Amino acid sequence: MDAKTFREFGKAAVDYVADYMENIRDCDILPSVKPGYLFDLLPKDMPETSEDWRDILEDVDRIIKPGITHWQSPNMHAFYPTASSFPAMVGDMLCNAFSVIGFSWIASPACTELEVVVMDWLAKFLKLPEEFLHSHEGPGGGIIQGSASESILVALMAAREQAVKHWKQKHPEMSESDIRGKLVSYSSDQSNSCVEKAGVLGAVTMRLLPANDEFILTGEILEKAVLKDLEQGLIPLICIATLGTTGTCAYDDIPSLGAVCQKYNIWLHVDAAYAGSAFALEEFSHLRNGLELVESLNFNMHKFLMVNFDCAGMWLKDANKVVDSFNVDPIYLKHKYEGQNKMPDFRHWQIPLGRRFRALKVWVTFRTIGAEGLRAYIRKHIDLAKRFENFVLSDSRFEMVANRSLGLVCFRPKGDNLRTTELLNQLTERKQIYLIQAKRGNLHFLRFCICGMDPQEEDVDFAWKEIQSQLDVVLKTEFLNAVKNDVDIISQKFSKDVYINGTAPISEKSK
């Protein structure tokens, strides 16, 4: 493909994307294909000769699009939002065009320096403690990781290596393997599954402590677990708190957790993947309480800030602790500007060596939307969730399971868990909107989250009418089944009575 053909293909692809986004409400949110559908539509081997781009783009529409779950549709209400915007798409295209591998400053100076700039922009926008800024005189700073999962794993492994080093110095009689075998980490049973996975990958026991009745992990709960482990000779390592849990978007008590972590020399990491966006709003300033006690935190720009996946911000109060843990510095990666002007070599801050120029799409998006526009976008999600919450409260057939939190509403139809499951099955089968089920203890409920690239009030109204209509179907089916069951019982009893009286059992027609 030469530049001329690239221009034609590229412009056609942009038109295709723009048309797709403008008409996304016309698509069923869930595909109708079955597992393996694509294997029957594609050849078993790659083509020997080149094919025309027009045929390829046509097959995207004919073969690929039918198998897409439309995450940018405003009818997506499952999980949490995966952000996108036209500026972010353009930024990603430029990133792909430059195709730099930014493992060091010299590998592409703009890649490193732009990331330093936008991460300080974002830290100020979110009003984080100044210790997390690159521009602060301390050793802190921010980096763009791929996801919250990576950020949490980096924090856990850095804390692990720091703890091993500390305990080896404190107890030289202990072997390194003995120390590693005694390490234990803590989080809430409401935390994301990636926390538990980090414990597996980091070879550290992860205790998922039961949250309180409000789904919150507190310092009191943590301290009881820590004291119990200390009595058994174990070594408390890290606590991973959550601001915006997956199930109900609950907020762990960071001030009390921070006090306990400082008391017992435990690394405190905060996973604010979803709710971290609210730091930027003064009406949610209370969510920032206790962040001065935190060693590290992460926040997903690809959830709320209109930057597409993958793009997770991570900040460290002392980046040297991570660098010291991960530093592998072969001669072929050295350059004469190392260590000058506090320019980080971000390869020491992450798991992989190579890294994408993610800062470019962040920069393009932030400049295009502006801080004011980003704050308005967050508030819009919150207002739309309030609208849905009012719908739930106005229908006596439904109940709230937890307080609405940012753009998430947790609710259920009153009755047993089967009714909730049947309602979800009905909604999923119709493919008009997409919700998921969660549970707290034995109680099942539905999560309704504001998602999509451009959600509007009419989208929330559409979703609520769909939910109401399908609950009507569920309740009608329940009623008919109950009536049928009663008739069967009466019929069986009547047949038995007639037979006992010496008369032949009544016929099915008579019943």
Catalytic positions are 192
- Compute the distance between CA of residue 281 and CA of residue 257 in angstroms, rounded to an integer: 23
- Compute the distance between CA of residue 138 and CA of residue 470 in angstroms, rounded to an integer: 57
- What residues have CB less than 8 Å from 368, skipping those under 6 apart? 85, 87
- Compute the distance between CA of residue 171 and CA of residue 156 in angstroms, rounded to an integer: 22
- Compute the distance between CA of residue 110 and CA of residue 116 in angstroms, rounded to an integer: 10
* Contact call for residues 263 and 203 (beta carbons, < 8 A): no
- What residues have CB less than 8 Å from 201, skipping those under 6 apart? 153
Residue 22's nearest CA partner among 66, 72, 71 is 72
Phi-psi region of 45 (alpha: psi -120 to 50; beta: other; left: phi over 0): beta
> Is the peptide bond between 461 and the residue preceding it cis, with omega within 30 degrees of 0?
no
What are the CA-CA distances from residue 344 to residues 123, 322, 358, 462 (Å)? 17, 12, 16, 49
Report which secondary-structure segment, H or E, holds 146.
none
- Compute the distance between CA of residue 241 and CA of residue 222 in angstroms, rounded to an integer: 10
Bridge-partner residues for 208, per DSSP? 187
Query: Taking each helix axis from N to C terminus, what angle separates 148-170 and 193-201, rounded to the nearest 10 degrees?
Result: 40
